[in-house]
Structure 1
Amino acid sequence: MTRTTSALVVESAGAEPQLALVTLDSLRVNGVLVEMYVTGVCHTDLGCMEGYLPVQFPNVFGHEGAGVVLETGNGVTDL
């Protein structure tokens, strides 16, 4: 089952993040669905956003976050 949520999406190198609706794929067997409450954007994220480091666009940056686990895939046995 896919899900729709909102995220700050960067469409291309150097572009400003824009709030947009995104569709998440179905939860994978080893996946974890986390409702994010806060996230940090580190120096590496900024380098990717500006195009100094290789990354695919569009992209959602920020990998240092805090939230609540809503669901886990069938293969997840420990977090």
Structure 2
Amino acid sequence: MDELKQFAGLLIFGNIENLILAAQGVVAHVNPFVIGILSLIAVCAWLAIGTFGTKIAMKYARYINFAGGLAIFILGIKSMIESGVLF
């Protein structure tokens, strides 16, 4: 369990990323059923990747956390710009 603690931040911010992506879908007027199906496919893919790739990824946990955080930050800024909150 101690080995997985380093991924806690990525798990928490991954949920925030899902909210950001959902907001982008609403702004873009995307069909919610299509988004739901694509989300389920993505979740299943990430589950498979996480299940089979965890041992390999442990070596690169710091880089993975940084890349995930950066992606969340960029998507958040992008969604705020597109919604008119910024600029």
Name whichever structure is richer in helix by fraction.
2
| Range class of TM-score, shorter chain | under 0.3
Higher Rg: 2
Q: Which has the higher contact order (CA 8 A, sep 6+)?
A: 2
The answer to which structure has the higher strand fraction is 1
TM-score when scaled to structure 1? 0.26
